[in-house]
Chains A and B, each alone.
Chain A
């Protein structure tokens, strides 16, 4: 059984080998056959590979971005549950409606908590017991 299962992946292995050898042969060929010209700043610049870097990649930015991103993911994922329920609403009936209301109730308390604790306030002065310190 295991041999058969692996046989199905043979094309993947061949493609992998092809990719690696294609890249490898090209690099090797340009190294072996190409001329060595002295380097200059224009040659080292990013040619058609995006913008010139302005600054270091590691910058400090406000921790509030993390909080907002985290909250977005949280609520976004929870909303995913609403779609299958909405599609199958008729078939699931009363039970699912009550369940969904309970779920939304819990979600609502979570949202209330987020707002009251000031996680979404962007320009407030720090207060004790609040998130933005």
Chain B
């Protein structure tokens, strides 16, 4: 039996599963449905476990040969570290938010860990069946997390919308996989790649199947025209979950799309570039123009996320090693900027419990530190030079200009960066030049300060001293082209 092979590839996932079960049992023993006290301990156990696993993921070296179960290459490892770090940030974010979970909070860390397990599996998948199983593990737990505040109608609404859209996306994906299997007789990424490379004339059924798979993944990524769920679900879900969705779920789409586009579609890359560039252009237009009139911080960040999906899709359309590594860098920059933004939203939206944009008016007077953190986050998302977001955008565009066919999309993206500057700067204007609407004292705990400090420092340092991460990203991306 090849148990050792499975554990070799999916060791981290196994430990994540064990951790989640331990959390459930710990909640049952200590919590007994109570709302305060021991639940904090469950969260601390979860964070401790994730921290240990993060360290483990950093010590792990990539497996030499790929097994039939999955691959543990540098690319998979890069994203496994990314996902575990995101989950750790999500649990840290949930600390100041937990009081709002009125229906019990013990399951929250366990669900986050289960989702992370699925995401880490996604990083290593090498066949379509494992892909589907892992993706469903991620999606189903995220449905529950989106509807976690079951006493709140808009949270339930977010959950139900997410379920319906998720079911549609899964249907696309499975139908596509059926076509791929029907035409190639293989569910392996390698087998499909070989089938594509073998013929000059790709069977129509295979192209159709792969197209459906790409559509299914585009839902996850939140790319236009499959973005319609993003603002509603982002607004309705509990804010830590929104942060997790915006970073983790998007990265899950990115990691799958990269594997698909760069390895499976490798032999027919040219045919797919136009489609991906088209999706990128639509996402850039819709995301950036849609963000301008938003009056809710979470909706606003949702549209901004759609715009960023557009940027990531440009890199996929380029299909060079440089663009692949640029995506990895971009995701890390996006992680730090988004986590900081959502944490500020959590702190300012405490009472009354909504994230209307007026709530950040005059934030600079009420808490200069929060205002500074949100400023850095917005500037990094906008791609202003001394911050990490700039380097990410720069790397993607540098890779994109190498391909003359993509010039129209590159020009569009440059115009859209200017548009995005407008609405990100509107946030700064609200913080620094408007009178505060709320006057209550903001409750900023030590852990909030710490996360914001980490995000700000990371955004600045990665913007100036970006070389180590660029090298790591290049190493991660190289595995795709190996």
- A residues in contact (CB < 8 Å) with B: 95, 106, 109, 112-113, 116-118, 127-130, 133
Contact = CB atoms under 8 A, between A and B. Distances in A.
B104 A129 contact: yes
A7 to B, nearest CB: 20
B194 interface: no
B21 A129 contact: no
Given A112-B28, A128-B104, A117 B21 contact: no
5 cross-chain pairs, A with B, having the tightest CB-CB distances, nearest first: A129-B104, A129-B33, A116-B28, A95-B1, A130-B33
A71 to B, nearest CB: 16
Contacts of B32: 116
Given A109-B25, A128-B102, A95 B34 contact: no
29 contacts: A95-B3, A106-B21, A109-B21, A109-B24, A109-B25, A112-B25, A112-B28, A113-B24, A113-B28, A116-B28, A116-B32, A117-B33, A127-B33, A128-B33, A128-B34, A128-B35, A128-B102, A128-B103, A128-B104, A129-B31, A129-B33, A129-B34, A129-B35, A129-B103, A129-B104, A129-B106, A130-B33, A130-B104, A133-B103
A106 B114 CA distance: 13
Given A109-B24, A128-B34, A129-B34, 14 more contacts: A109-B21, A109-B25, A113-B24, A116-B28, A117-B33, A118-B33, A128-B102, A128-B103, A128-B104, A129-B31, A129-B33, A129-B103, A129-B104, A130-B104
B interface residue count range (under 10 / 10 to 19 / 20 to 34 / 35 or more): 10 to 19
A118 B24 CA distance: 15
A129 B150 CA distance: 11
Contacts of B3: 95
Contacts of B33: 117-118, 127-130
Interface of B: 1, 3, 21, 24-25, 28, 31-35, 102-104, 106
Contacts of B24: 109, 113
By DSSP majority rule, is chain B's interface helix, strand, loop, or mixed? loop
A112 B33 CA distance: 14
A109 B17 CA distance: 12
Nearest to A94: B1
A113 to B, nearest CB: 6
A127 B3 CA distance: 44
A117 B34 CA distance: 11
Select the residue from B24, B25, B33, B103 with max chain A CB neighbours within 10 A.
Answer: B33
A130 B33 CA distance: 6
A109 B23 CA distance: 11
Contacts, number: 31
A133 B21 CA distance: 25
Contacts of A109: 21, 24-25
B43 to A, nearest CB: 15
A127 B32 CA distance: 10
Contacts of B25: 109, 112
Nearest to B21: A109
Contacts of B28: 112-113, 116
Contacts of A106: 21
A18 to B, nearest CB: 32
A128 B3 CA distance: 43
Nearest to B101: A129
A117 B29 CA distance: 11
Nearest to A109: B21
Contacts of A112: 25, 28
Contacts of A130: 33, 104
Contacts of B31: 129
Contacts of B21: 106, 109
Nearest to B22: A109
B183 to A, nearest CB: 14
A109 B21 CA distance: 7
A127 B102 CA distance: 12
Contacts of A117: 33
Nearest to A130: B33
A118 B21 CA distance: 19
Nearest to A110: B24
Nearest to A116: B28
B35 to A, nearest CB: 6
Nearest to B1: A95
Contacts of A128: 33-35, 102-104
Nearest to A95: B1
B467 to A, nearest CB: 44
A103 B355 CA distance: 43
A103 to B, nearest CB: 12
A24 B447 CA distance: 74
A120 B214 CA distance: 42
A117 B103 CA distance: 12
A130 to B, nearest CB: 5
Select the residue from A106, A112, A116, A133 with max chain B CB neighbours within 10 A.
Answer: A116
A69 to B, nearest CB: 18
A30 to B, nearest CB: 43
A113 B21 CA distance: 10
A130 B35 CA distance: 11
Contacts of A133: 103
A130 B102 CA distance: 11
A91 to B, nearest CB: 13
A2 B256 CA distance: 34
B63 to A, nearest CB: 22
Nearest to A112: B28
A78 to B, nearest CB: 15
A116 B34 CA distance: 12
